[in-house]
Amino acid sequence: MSQDTKTLLDLANRYLMQNYARAPLCLVRGEGVRVWDTDGKEYLDFVGGIAVDALGHSHPKIVGAIREQATTLLHVSNLYQIPSQIHLAKLLCEHSFADRAFFCNSGTEANEAAIKLVRKYAKDVLSTDRVDIVTMRGAFHGRTMGALSATPNEKYQHGFEPLLPGFKYVPFGDLRAAERAVDNRTAAILVEPIQGEGGVNVAPDGYLAGLRGLCDTSGALLVFDEIQTGMGRTGRLWAHQHWGVEPDVMTLAKALASGIPIGAMLAKEFCARVMLAGTHGTTFGGNPFATTVGVATVTTMLEDKLPERADRVGTYLLDRLRALRLPALREVRGKGLLIGIELDRPASGVVAACRDQGLLVLSAGDTVLRLTPPLVVDETDVDRAVEILTHVFGRSAS
């Protein structure tokens, strides 16, 4: 490690709040699926900014959109019409179930917006005491108080009590438990089609359709959190398309603008109409800069058929990993390029060992290794990643 890097790490330890368990690594440049640190070391990036960098680093169309908009107009507020925001809303609605879009700054803000929408819809249309939202154990919906209250995980909730009332938690994938939880106070069911942070847990066949049926019967809204699974990550533009089940509301963020902060809530017209002027808002959300990059991201993703590429290369990666049959690997699961490797040991040590070998991966829960490379990754990159993983597991077993 160079002296310059040591100096940066000392400054980080001195001046930054210590709320992240950051790796001792300063990344300064990226191209495609590779990044470089302050010492010039190259890494194969199978983290992709936690599923944000779907188009890879320094994609020419994204760089062009950023340059053009940065010299044109950055921000005007939602007091006025914003052409790029209108164009992005049209793109997303035309390629989804939704009729309307609301833009904000992050995934947790998108989920906050969804929580407000479902409660207002329930009170305006159903009954004033329809306030409960059913969420799933193992879920991760964000760290603001509403989204945190929807995230039944002591690791994130501990120390921040009291949480917001009105959330009921049931096991993920257990339709009977969801049936028992839904009653005449239920406003909505909120669920990730594939739990990313919770360990890359894939919804079993029939589960989302069952939740759809519960909502149709009870009048509650069905909300899909596709903040991590959306934007082609799983081999479809939206993960719920694997099961042919449409939600009433969907939340997005991460890959939507290739690293420029943005979040979105999409909804069908019948429930979107409760969000009247003054019911919700944001200062920065949907500004010209973020939504211009969002339009460039979505357009490039569709033109380059990146969901199809994620399906093809993701299947290749899954097959390569499942063929390893190493004792440390208990299960390999996922869809597209959202892949979890269940280990027989803590994932943190494997993450560090891979980093030393030039491969960036991340954990999901305590014992799951999560792979979320840019969707532009190819089979040669996959072969190199599997080679490093095999080397790391071989060393840890010896």
At residue 341, the 3 state secondary structure works out as strand
Angstrom distance (rounded) from CA 96 to CA 117: 19
Catalytic annotation, residues: 140, 225, 254
Q: Long-range contacts made by residues 382-389, C-beta under 8 angstroms, separation at least 24? A: 382/313, 382/316, 382/317, 382/320, 383/320, 384/44, 384/359, 385/44, 385/46, 385/317, 385/359, 386/317, 386/320, 386/321, 386/324, 388/44, 388/354, 388/357, 388/358, 388/359, 389/321, 389/324, 389/354, 389/359
Nearest to 366 by CA among 348, 352, 351, 339: 348
Strand partners, 31: 34
Query: Please, are residues 359 and 44 in contact by the beta-carbon 8 Å criterion?
Result: yes
What is the torsion angle, in degrees rounded to the nearest 10, for the CA atoms of residue 238, residue 232, residue 198 and residue 134?
A: -10
Angstrom distance (rounded) from CA 234 to CA 17: 34
